[in-house]
Chains A and B, each alone.
Chain A
Amino acid sequence: MTVSNTTAAVEPEAGAQVLRPHAEDAFADELKALAAADDRPRPARWRLSPWAVATYLQGGTLPDGTVITPKYVGPRRLVEVAVTTLATDRALLLLGVPGTAKTWVSEHLAAAVSGDSTLLVQGTAGTPEEAVRYGWNYAQLLAHGPSRDALVPSPLMRAMSEGMTARVEELTRIPADVQDSLITILSEKTLPVPELGQEVQAVRGFNLIATANDRDRGVNELSSALRRRFNTVVLPLPGTPDAEVDIVSRRVDQIGRSLDLPASPEGLTEIRRVVTVFRELRDGVTTDGRTKLKSPSGTLSTAEAISVVTNGLALAAHFGDGVLRPGDVAAGILGAVVRDPAADRVVWQEYLETVVRERDGWKDFYRACREVSA
């Protein structure tokens, strides 16, 4: 290859300080230890056995004492299904609302299975067919005519010829006609190059992990023909309130520090409250499981909870006394919940009147919400 393209070209020099190293570099030690301890059968061209890949994602302790940190905290069942899917050379589709670690899981899966997470196609509304199949180096093409040298392979093409795991991010953002070119690759496992009268056949070990957001309906819905080629794993939102509060406060802390916002210890009650409100409206049931609720049209993901709290912190720091108060988050919550002015407003008011008003210790929050809702 004379001209290397996209991600493959920007591998950092060893020792150079990159902002965010790839998974296979950041956790090279763990992968090495796992490979050494792994005596189970490995599918063709897999760096690890399926069992070891699942352990790499979920964490554990190896017989030699090496501690594998958990990369994905969630149901083991999901990880097992995902790994098994790759082992049966079916393509894997990770679905989930934004902020459920889809990309994170796909990167680590690719790193553990193939030792390389960089064979990546980023799906956008403008993703061209060349990004999925191949492009041409026009200087070469004009100088020497069509040849393998003039061909610029896509990450997918490279993965096929080398038996690696390729990744497609945001599959549903890719235009439908470009999506369709995946069907041949996934069912025939071959990529014809009619200009040269050749084809690239996938070797064993090739597979594809795609991620998609299942909340943005109607972006570019997958055709059923393409959908059939995937096994689907839906990554859930955090299972328990405590886990979510933990994630939110950790992220808020990180963001707050980079924005030089003062950390406020009292903020934790507000964070817990925001998470509770988000969870209850999202799940359509109160935390005690006794009252059902309508759900608003918004996603109310963990990521949104984080931004509501960060906004509140900024408000408190710049316009308040530096302590996160109900009034600082009320407006943010209202904005996150009420996306559709008519239906969502009713949902929100019902929630306020039937749940928040009655709840012990939520008086000030109720009042703050009433103020911004009026």
Chain B
Amino acid sequence: MSGAAVAAAAPPGRTTTGSAARPVVGPWLLGVRHHGPGSARAVLAALRAACPAAVLIEGPPEGDALLPLAADPRMRPPVALLAHAVDDPGRASFWPMAAFSPEWVAIRWALDHGVPVRFIDLPAAHSLALKEPAPKEPGEGPERAEHAQEEEVTPVVDPIRVLAETAGYDDPERWWEDVVEHRSPTGERDDGGMRLEGATPEGADPDDAPGDVLAPFVALAEAMSALREAYGDGGQPRDAVREAYMRIQLRTARKEFGDQVAVVCGAWHVPALAARTTLAADRALLKGLPKVRTDLTWVPWTHRRLARQSGYGAGIDSPGWYGHLFEAADRPIERWMTKVAGLLRGEDRFVSTAHVIEAVRLAETLAALRGRPLAGLGETTDAVRAVMCEGSDVPLALVRDRLIVGESLGEVPDTAPAVPLQRDLTRSQRTLRLKPEASERELDLDLRKETDAARSRLLHRLRLLDVGWGDPVAGRGSTGTFRESWRLSWEPELHVRVAEAGVWGTTVLTAATAKAASQAVAATALADVTALAEHCLLAGLPDALPVVMKALADRAALDADVGHLADALPALARSLRYGDVRSTDTAALAEVAAGLAERICVGLPPACTGLDPDGAETLRGRVEAVHGAIGLLDTGAEPGTGLRERWDAVLHKLAARDTIAGIIRGRATRLLLDEGRLPEDEAARLMGLALSPGTPPADAAAWIEGFVGGASGGGMLLVHDERLLGLVDAWLTGVPADQFTDVLPLLRRTFSAYEPGVRRTLGELVRRGPVPEGARRDDAAPATGGFGPGLDPARADAVEPVLRLLLGRPPEPAEAAV
């Protein structure tokens, strides 16, 4: 039924453009769908049958010089022809080609048979210059007209869609697949590939073989010309210029080689190339085109980047599937299902041969139900899901990732011209006066200076791209955040690294941005993403930051371990601070950090219960780190977010809840006390509670460790607040003898960390012993309670005059008081 659709659009009697594709006389206009395996096969068959004297291909003519490289055995598709403006590597276009691209097939055929092959599209010098006013994503390029139509943001006519709708299809891709991609020239659907191999030009049926293999192109040309009559340029005014240029090139080629010329171009252009126009009219169209100096080279490409989801206009959904269709010698569905089964088995899923059989049956019956000539990707995917994946989309995602898109990575021989990234790097090295030298040298940067900051960014970006030119080293002397020290050494193999990094982009900035973004998406651990975020800030990649932040927020949301979150937060807070030094916009970062802090506030209290001593100790460190980070965040841009209050509430909860490990309770109490968020009376009450006789001594000792442990001035607290010391003293003397040995190591650890002076003072205080109950009650100054016999009036009087002198107050009222 699909063939009928084309036939209906192009009745055999009409030969307005069909004459151009007649088998015996050229030129043969082979309209294709870029990256269509069916088109590629058809093109190959047509070339074999017609044996043209020259092959012309839609592509930038500057690339002619690079064409012989395609025959290099070290050249492995997918690759892309890359054109970029010499003085602005950021302005670039890509012409990606996979093994199953018709253009690639045609190039290889021509090179293998010693047939001249040329690119005939508008030179990149013009198309890149034209590109300037509306900078779009690379690859949107001029070459993918009929496909670009689908991808254009502006609504333009999609010729394939119109044809598909005429044929009663709702999905243009499916229609094209049914009509063209699944047809092989011999008309045998299952073993087309084998027949192709056998079908030599002078093959079994010389009379109708050329006509047969060219028939699809004739029909397609008919359909396209009908469409172009209805839609004109289809909303792509620039196509007229390109087609004029192609016509001129075609004329030149015909002068040189006669009519035996084959043209491989997007199906949309076929009618325009066949149109009869005057040379003068075509020349007029090309007048006054802007021009820019360009360079071209081959770069390795990947299937993933061919896939539409990576944002390249010329992309296709399923390069892996197309590659399979192109490569499979016969029985493509059976072979595909076997591949899928192999993949799933490799991932330890139970998939038997019976599964494969049933999946093939289901796919073929589904195709019949849907009225398709052969099971396509949709049917096979449905069958794989229902039979092999038990209806689940999870293993299916694996199939999509590994097989339907595929992981194929192209290779380009070393002899290919340098990638623009290298030029951009050389340029930056010149402007920043940073010579690539093999000998090792140290470089100190002051980030407050413009040039130094730019140098630092360049080095950080290169590190992100795995071009290890500079290694950061610990700064000498100053530890300020505005200093940075590097050890530089340029090894020859770094050139190779730069070339490899060329897949990521044409400038250091765009390449680093693209790589950071892809790393962020691929990262699994929260800490990796945080590190990446820090790196992005250091390297000055504001465009990568949103992606990284999104990844960070996603990982944080799904990470159930508060510990990971708590580990990530300090780095973020630090990044925010660095951001200030480097004047990067960190609003997104602050938002994510706040979100992270919020999650920690929610998750921390439950995470602090039921811990063993080691776990509690680790978590105490995290509580402290988070406390510090939240302090940093709170002093930042937006006060009044209430984060501080919520964190205080969490600390209160930690301090008060019984089930939480003693060391954390103690630390929370202490943090609150230090911040002045906890009245001293309350702290004393909590301490009394923690040290009351009902508590196991080990717990109480842990509490003390948490409260006054570490070198953070805990000792001074005890020295100055004798009430707290009194509580500790009372508790310690009350510990039963048999348990005293248990708590001793912990206490020793707590107190041995104090400075000697503090320890001595504490010791002296303790030696004096607590105030006897009676004496304390008689005392006039209740606030002092604790150690010692209270105020000694005589000694106090002796000090007083000096104090008054120090405070600058007159002695007279003192006399009155005494």
Contacts and interface: CB of A to CB of B under 8 A. Distances in A.
A222 B355 CA distance: 16
Q: Which of A224, A231, A345, A354 counts the most B-chain CB atoms under 10 A from its CB?
A: A231
Nearest to B370: A80
Pick the most buried of B370, B383, B386, B387: most chain A CB atoms within 10 A of its CB. Answer: B386
- Interface of A (DSSP majority class): helix
A213 interface: no
A81 B598 contact: no
B558 A292 contact: yes
Interface string A321-351: 0000000000000000000001101100110
A228 B382 contact: no
Contact of B361 (A50, A88, A224, A291): A88
Nearest to A293: B557
Contact of A77 (B354, B382, B387, B602): B382
Contacts of A284: 558
Interface residue SS majority, chain B: helix
A234 B393 CA distance: 9
Contacts of B382: 77, 80-81
Interface in A274-332: 284, 290-294
A292 B382 CA distance: 28
Contacts of A345: 606
Interface in B384-401: 385-387, 389-392
A87 B178 CA distance: 23
A80 B369 contact: yes
Contacts of A293: 557
A353 B599 CA distance: 8
Contacts of B602: 346, 349-350, 353
Interface residues of B, number: 34
Contact of B365 (A88, A233, A294): A88
B396 to A, nearest CB: 11
B350 interface: yes
B553 interface: yes
Residue with the greatest number of chain A CB neighbours at <10 A, chosen from B366, B553, B598: B366
A54 interface: yes
Contact of A291 (B369, B370, B389, B557): B557
Contacts of B553: 291-292
Q: Which one of B361, B365, B387, B392 has the greatest number of beta carbons of chain A within 10 Å?
A: B365
A294 B560 contact: yes
Given A85-B386, A350-B603, A231 B370 contact: no
Given A81-B362, A292-B558, A354 B599 contact: yes
A51 interface: yes
Contacts of A93: 391
A122 B350 CA distance: 29
Given A228-B355, A232-B391, A84 B558 contact: no
Given A80-B366, A84-B369, A291-B557, A232 B361 contact: no
A226 B493 CA distance: 58
Contacts of B606: 342, 345-346
Interface string B348-364: 00101011001001100
A228 B354 CA distance: 8
A227 B390 contact: yes
Contacts of A292: 553-554, 557-558
A85 B362 contact: yes
Contacts of B389: 232
A227 B387 CA distance: 10
B599 A51 contact: no
Contacts of A101: none
Contacts of A232: 385-387, 389-392
A233 B391 CA distance: 5
Interface string B560-589: 100000000000000000000000000000
Contact of A87 (B365, B560, B595): B365
Given A233-B386, A233-B391, A291-B553, A228 B366 contact: no
Contact of B603 (A80, A81, A90, A346): A346
B558 A95 contact: no
A83 interface: yes
A173 B438 CA distance: 72
B601 interface: yes
Nearest to A234: B391
Nearest to B354: A228
Contacts of B560: 294, 343
Which residue, of A81, A87, A292, has the highest number of chain B Cβ atoms within 10 A? A81
Nearest to B595: A354
A292 B552 CA distance: 10
A156 B606 CA distance: 52
Nearest to B390: A232
28 contacts: A50-B369, A54-B369, A77-B382, A81-B366, A81-B385, A83-B369, A84-B362, A84-B366, A88-B361, A88-B362, A90-B361, A95-B391, A228-B354, A228-B355, A231-B387, A232-B390, A284-B558, A290-B550, A291-B553, A292-B554, A294-B557, A343-B560, A346-B602, A350-B557, A350-B603, A353-B598, A353-B601, A353-B602
Interface of B: 350, 352, 354-355, 358, 361-362, 365-366, 369-370, 378, 382-383, 385-387, 389-392, 550, 553-554, 557-558, 560, 595, 598-599, 601-603, 606
Given A81-B385, A350-B557, 6 more contacts: A85-B362, A85-B386, A88-B362, A228-B355, A234-B392, A350-B599
- For the complex of A and B, list the 8 residue pairs with the smallest distance between their C-beta atoms, beginning with the closest: A232-B391, A234-B391, A292-B557, A292-B554, A231-B386, A349-B602, A232-B390, A84-B366
